[in-house]
């Protein structure tokens, strides 16, 4: 599969904003760790429910 609109500089910028996330990702604690053509990997901390 090809992704002609994929921009490596934009992908690097998304990963480079660690800690500057706003909105729902910030509220949920989601951190983007890797972005590639057609992929995005993220991580979050899982807490035990109260």
Q: Using one digit for the tens of pLDDT, what is the confidence trace for 14-49?
A: 888 765 678 888 888 888 999 999 999 999 988 888
Token pair in block for residue 38: 């057609």
> What does the pLDDT read at residue 49?
81
Predicted model pTM: 0.71
Evaluate whether 3 touches 40 at the Cβ level (below 8 Å).
no
Q: From its phi and psi, is residue 43 left (phi > 0), alpha (psi between -120 and 50) or beta?
A: beta
> What does the pLDDT read at residue 18?
66
- Closest-CA residue to 14 (of 36, 38, 46): 36
> What does the pLDDT read at residue 19?
59
């Amino acid at each position: 599969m090809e992704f002609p609109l994929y921009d490596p500089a934009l992908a690097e910028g998304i990963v480079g904003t660690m800690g500057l996330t706003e909105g729902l990702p910030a509220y949920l604690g989601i951190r983007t760790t890797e972005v590639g053509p057609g992929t995005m990997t993220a991580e979050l901390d899982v807490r035990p429910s109260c």
